[in-house]
C-alpha cells in the first residue's frame, strides 16, 4: 500500500512535520510565507488523503469536492469556522482542531492587550522613540488602573475562564456572559453570570472569547458599544467578525469608549483604515497562540489528529464525531 499523502497549506513548526514523517506519511507543503492561493489549493488537494490547514484557508464545498481522496481535514487552530464542517460530514470527511494547548497563551495575550491599552504602552513607546521624552511629567500619558476594576468576559470557555483566573491577582470584580452557567468558575473566582447588556454597562474592561457563529457575528455593534462606559476598553482575541468594525471606529472617534486592543479583524488581514489612524488603539497581527511552546504543541496535535484518522482510528480532537 502506498503511503498516505498530506498537504500542508503553510509551513508549520518542525515538531509537527517530523511527527508526520515518522508516521510514514508523504508530505507536500506551501513553502511561501503567506496563505496558499485558492487555485493552488484546488490543484494540490486532488490526490491528497489528508489536509492540514490554517484559519486563513477557506475550506468550502469546492475545495472539499476537489479532494477526491480526502479523508481528514486537520485545522491548525482551535476555531474551525473557516471549514464547511456540515459538508465535510456529509462527504464522510473527518474534521479536527487543536484545543486546550493554546488556552493560556491566548489568555496571556488578552492580558497583554489589557495592560497595553490601560497604561498606553504602545503610545508611550512611540513617544520615547520619537525623541519627545525630555523630562518626567505629572500629567503625561495618563492611563487607567486595572486593580479593583470590573472585568467583563464574553464567552466563558477555556480561554475566557483562563483570563478570569488571572484577574484574581488584581482583585478585580468579574462578570461573565455565557450560554451556560460555569459554577466552578464562579466558585473559584467570584464571577457572576449576567446579561450581555449588564456586562457592557458595568465593565471597565470587556474581553471577547466567544466562537464565531451566526449568533455571534456582530455581537458587538453600535448599540452594544453605546452601552459601555466612556472609560472602558474593548479587547478582542477571539474572532474579528464578532465586532462590527466600522461601528467600533465610530465609537472610538466619538469617545463612546476609551480604547480597544485587537488581535483579530473583521476582514482579516485587512484592517479598517480608521483603526490605523487612532492612538487609543493597539493592533496585533493575530498572535494569540504565538509562543514557541504553544505553536509546537499545536503542530504536534494537528499531526496526531492526521495520523490517527488516516490510521483508521478516531482522532483525539474530532469535531464532527458523526461523520460516518
| Catalytic residue selected from 119, 217, 226, 286 | 286
Is there a contact between 109 and 284 (Cβ–Cβ < 8 Å)?
yes
d(CA 298, CA 184): 27
Cell 468579574, located at residue: 174
- Sign, Cα dihedral of 311, 314, 320, 321: positive
- Strands laid side by side in the 205-208 sheet: 192-193, 173-177, 150-154, 205-208, 233-236, 259-262, 281-283
Phi-psi region of 293 (alpha: psi -120 to 50; beta: other; left: phi over 0): alpha
| Catalytic residue selected from 19, 239, 245, 304 | 239
* 242 secondary structure, DSSP code: G
Helix runs in the chain, H state only: 14-22, 38-44, 61-66, 85-90, 103-118, 121-129, 158-167, 183-189, 196-202, 222-227, 245-253, 273-276, 292-310
Q: Of 180, 146, 136, nearest to 166 (Cα)?
A: 146
Active site residue 62: no
Is there a contact between 158 and 99 (Cβ–Cβ < 8 Å)?
yes
Q: Is 167 exposed, middle or buried (0-12, 13-18, 19+ CB in 10 A)?
A: buried
Active site residue 304: no
Active site residue 239: yes
Q: Supply the angle between the helices 103-118 and 121-129 in degrees, to the nearest 10.
A: 60
Q: How many CB atoms lie within 10 A of CB 193?
A: 17
| Catalytic residue selected from 218, 226, 268, 272 | 268
User: Where in the sequence numbering do the catalytic residues fall?
Assistant: 239, 268, 286
Amino acid at each position: 500500500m502506498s503511503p498516505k499523502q498530506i498537504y500542508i497549506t503553510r509551513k508549520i513548526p518542525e515538531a509537527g512535520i517530523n511527527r508526520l514523517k515518522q508516521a510514514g506519511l508523504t508530505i507536500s507543503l506551501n513553502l511561501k510565507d503567506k496563505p496558499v492561493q485558492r487555485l493552488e489549493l484546488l490543484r494540490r488537494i486532488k490526490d491528497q488523503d489528508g489536509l492540514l490547514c490554517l484559519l486563513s484557508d477557506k475550506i468550502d464545498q469546492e475545495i472539499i469536492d476537489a479532494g477526491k481522496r480526502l479523508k481528514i481535514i486537520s485545522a491548525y487552530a482551535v476555531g474551525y469556522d473557516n471549514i464547511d464542517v456540515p459538508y465535510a460530514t456529509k462527504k464522510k470527511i473527518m474534521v479536527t482542531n487543536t484545543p486546550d494547548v493554546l488556552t493560556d497563551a491566548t489568555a496571556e495575550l488578552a492580558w497583554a492587550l489589557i495592560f497595553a491599552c490601560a497604561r498606553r504602552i504602545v503610545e508611550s513607546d512611540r513617544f520615547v522613540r520619537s525623541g519627545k521624552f525630555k523630562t518626567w511629567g505629572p500629567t503625561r500619558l495618563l492611563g487607567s488602573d486595572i486593580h479593583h476594576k470590573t472585568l467583563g468576559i464574553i464567552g466563558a470557555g477555556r480561554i475566557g475562564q483562563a483570563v478570569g483566573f488571572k484577574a484574581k491577582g488584581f482583585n478585580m470584580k468579574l462578570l461573565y456572559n455565557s450560554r451556560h452557567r460555569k459554577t466552578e468558575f464562579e466558585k473559584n473566582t467570584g464571577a457572576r453570570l449576567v446579561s450581555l447588556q449588564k456586562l457592557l454597562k458595568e465593565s471597565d474592561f470587556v474581553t471577547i472569547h466567544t466562537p464565531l457563529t451566526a449568533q455571534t457575528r456582530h455581537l458587538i455593534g453600535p448599540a452594544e458599544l453605546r452601552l459601555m462606559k466612556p472609560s472602558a476598553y474593548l479587547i478582542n482575541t477571539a474572532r474579528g467578525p464578532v465586532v462590527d468594525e466600522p461601528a467600533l471606529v465610530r465609537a472610538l472617534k466619538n469617545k463612546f469608549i476609551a480604547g480597544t486592543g485587537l488581535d483579530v479583524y473583521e476582514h482579516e488581514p485587512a484592517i479598517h483604515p480608521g483603526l490605523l489612524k487612532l492612538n487609543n488603539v493597539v493592533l496585533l497581527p493575530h498572535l494569540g497562540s504565538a509562543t514557541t511552546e504553544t505553536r509546537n504543541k499545536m503542530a504536534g496535535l494537528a499531526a496526531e489528529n492526521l495520523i490517527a484518522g488516516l490510521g483508521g482510528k478516531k482522532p483525539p480532537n474530532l469535531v464532527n464525531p458523526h461523520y460516518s
